[in-house]
Amino acid sequence: MNEQGLNGNKVDDVRRYMNSKLIPIYGEREAFQISIMIFQHVMNWSKTDLIMKKNDRLTESEILKLHFPTKEIAAGKPVQYVLGSAYFCGFDFEVNENVLIPRPETEELVRWVVLENTIINPIILDFGTGSGCIAISLKKMIPQAAVKGVELSEEALNVAKRNAIKLNCEVEFVQSDMRQFLFECPADIIVSNPPYIGISESSEMNSNVVNHEPHIALFVPDEDPLLYYKVLHGLALKNLKSGGMIALECHEVYAGAVRDMFLSSGFSNVQLREDMQGKPRMVIALRD
């Protein structure tokens, strides 16, 4: 490979070249971390390996294998999709463009659920399970739980099932639109990170999200931003046991409205919590 900016075949030379492509898009600090991730993925090297082998020479084949993901990421494709994995709650999940990339805010929701749960053997329903990251993480953290993930997209369900196998985790997955969920499933916990971004907001979002992540999991009609929260409220009234808990990730603008919806009928001890950025993003409520 004869790429402009690549001045040698030592590990340090290749990393400098990678960073030169990534820094204009991601900044120096993030570009540095991404280059480490690419080396870890392609070469199966640790950070220590990178330091110890910085003067080692790479073959042309190895350089090409490092160049291709760098090129895709520099073009705006999310690093998680390029590398095919994302960490969530300490677990490595397969991800692709059929599922959302797991976010730290959703980790906060999962950990809050675990902290608030008082039931020894809870039955948990995860609506809009996507990659399965919420359902599988809850099963990992509450091993005695019976967990079911519900998802409309067959492609996303396939990813979730592979993640359950990969992480040796017994979770049942069901294909269904939550708006037409007809099963009788008495549950102790319902959890969901539903679509909540108005379509008009897409113009203000990062292009790597809008161009690559599944719109079906992101967007709701501008005229009905609480669409899925209304659905989940109904599902909780139907399926949640008395004293059971529903936990939802929310749009910061509408989190108060979600809280008020649950306060208005059938629920008590409704809590609204801010994420680590100080934005109101999570609601938990108990079924009367």
C-alpha to C-alpha distance for 25 and 288, rounded to whole angstroms: 50
pLDDT tier for residue 2 given thresholds of 50, 70 and 90: very low
pLDDT tens-digit readout, 137-161: 999 999 999 999 999 999 999 999 9
Contact assessment for residue 196 and residue 254, using Cβ atoms and an 8 Å cutoff:
yes
Amino acid identity, position 166: K
C-alpha to C-alpha distance for 27 and 98, rounded to whole angstroms: 27
Work out the average pLDDT over 75-100. Answer: 96
Res 164: pLDDT: 98
- Does 152 share its domain with 263? yes
| pLDDT over threshold 80, residue 240 | yes
Looking up residue 171, the CATH number of its domain turns out to be 3.40.50.150
Work out whether the CA dihedral 183, 185, 186, 189 comes out positive or negative.
Answer: negative
b/e map 34-43, b = 16+ CB within 10 Å: bbbbbbebbb
pLDDT tens-digit readout, 10-47: 999 999 999 999 999 889 999 999 999 999 999 999 88
Q: Give the range of the structural domain holding residue 208, as residue numbers without chain letter.
A: 98-287
- Does 25 share its domain with 133? no
pLDDT tier for residue 211 given thresholds of 50, 70 and 90: confident
pLDDT tier for residue 1 given thresholds of 50, 70 and 90: very low
Report the chain's mean pLDDT, rounded to a whole number: 93
C-alpha to C-alpha distance for 113 and 24, rounded to whole angstroms: 39
Domains held by the chain: number: 2
- Does 59 share its domain with 126? no
